[in-house]
Amino acid sequence: MTQPLHGRLHPATPLRRSWAVLIGIATLIYNQRDLFSVGTSGTKDQIDVPWWAACVTVTVVVATVVGLFVVAWRHSHYSLDGNVLGYRSGLLFKVRRQCELDHVQSVDIDQPFLGRLIGICTLEVVMSGTTMTLSYLTLNQARALKARILAEDTGDEQLYRVRATDLLLALLLDVGTNIWCLLLAGFAVLPYALSGELFTLSTLVAFAPKVWALTGKRLFVCSGWSVTRTAEGSYRTDFGLFDTQQCTYRDTRIASVEIHQPFLWRRFDWVEVKVAVAGAPGPGILVPVCPRTVAEKMVLHLLGPDAVSHLHDPIPAPPEARKATPFHKALGYRLGNGYFTAWRGFFLRNVATVAPVGRIQSVSVDQGPWQRRLGLASVYAHMAGGGSVPADHRTAAESADLAARLYRDSMNHAEAKPGRPAGLVNSGR
């Protein structure tokens, strides 16, 4: 029988948490500095404070704040007993949280740069609609908890590691990055070069943060990105240059896999792979950039060999769709062998989403006013935990047939594996 796992947060936790309060107090005192005169005789409107009194006051304030956080830290404990993870904290207001491991969607380890210097990190246990955060733990504590929560052992296999040169070139070829760089050059650098007036550089405030977020920040975050398959079937991503992070996806919780291909990446046949997990707010990045062959390998691992064949030969959109969208050639779908795949996109980015029909919760057929005039409709397969896979701009007869097939296949899977059945919803806009 597995022994219970108990522990306390890292001793540096009260120091790490108290600094924000101390900075707030220091800022408040600094804003009121005109009311005091320390060590010298001030005006009659100022309060004279000797140096020794100022030093004693500062020492008492710091000791009191840190002491309160230390006492709160001593009342904070976590425990992992059987199938239940518990955490209790609080000094005046007690907080107790518990979660069953069966409800855990993913477990992430976040280690900021300063945390790496002293060997601490944050463990985030993600459940449907909520997250339990343990800050701060040692790296060994976090890894031991994560291994027990996900029932991992040491037989890990690294599937892919992003090369630094590929990542750098992919960021430079990103369309959004190029557009914002052109805006920065056109509205800030060029006016300054022509006029020589410094005030023209004020527009940097509007464009520089966005350019930094698309270039330098993404480079730091995605550096050293690797995907590892654990012995129990989960998939772990490790990434970060200064602030290292670790995210784990359970294969049983993956609702769909998305493959994105920006326009400028097509020459190298590079793609970005994302996974949608049940209960997560949105798709998470599995690989920021990789060859398409590697992406198909990821689909093979995540969903099985039948899903890989679904990434080719889609059923194109009907001729009527060209009147509904100029990007009708990018639309398509494929249904069969237990998987539903949809293609969509536009000139700058194409997206292919493949999902098991067993993860479909409901199916809807939407028809807008313009679609109704053209005799078209869109079919949406709503996945477990949120999100949907669309088959846009199909004929009315084809959309009805596709919705019925999706409903039937999802119901057949639900009968084979008991659970919450799917439903069919028809809606119009």
- The tens place of each residue's pLDDT in the chain, 429 residues long, gives 467 777 888 888 887 778 778 888 888 877 777 777 666 665 666 667 777 877 888 888 888 888 888 888 888 888 888 788 888 887 777 788 888 887 787 788 888 877 877 888 888 888 776 788 888 888 888 888 887 887 755 567 889 999 999 999 999 888 888 888 888 788 777 777 777 676 666 777 777 788 888 788 888 889 999 999 887 778 889 998 888 888 888 777 888 999 999 888 998 999 999 998 876 777 889 999 999 999 999 999 898 888 998 888 899 999 999 988 888 888 999 998 889 999 998 766 789 999 999 889 899 999 999 999 999 999 999 987 678 899 999 999 999 999 999 999 888 877 666 444 444 444 444
- Token pair of 46, please? 């100022």
Predicted pLDDT of residue 419: 45
Q: What angle do CA 356, 147, 83 make, to 5 degrees?
A: 80
Report the 10 Å Cβ neighbour count for 249.
23
Beta bridge partners of 171: none
Q: What residues have CB less than 8 Å from 147, skipping those under 6 apart?
A: 153
Give the integer Cα–Cα distance in Å for 415 and 424.
16
Give dist(CA 115, CA 244) in Å, integer. 10
pTM equals: 0.70
**What's residue 1's pLDDT?**
46
- Please, are residues 330 and 344 in contact by the beta-carbon 8 Å criterion? yes
Give CA separation, 51 vs 36, 45, 48, 58, 65, in Å. 12, 19, 10, 11, 21
- Whole-number Cα distances in Å, 285 to 71, 215, 248: 39, 17, 11
Query: Can you give the pLDDT at residue 415?
Result: 67
Selection from 223, 215, 227, 139 nearest residue 176 by Cα: 215
Q: Tell me the β-bridge partners of 85.
A: 80, 99
Phi, psi of 131 (to 5 degrees): -140, 130
Which pLDDT score is estimated for 21? 84
Q: Quick one: which of 293, 297, 273 has its CA closest to 222?
A: 273
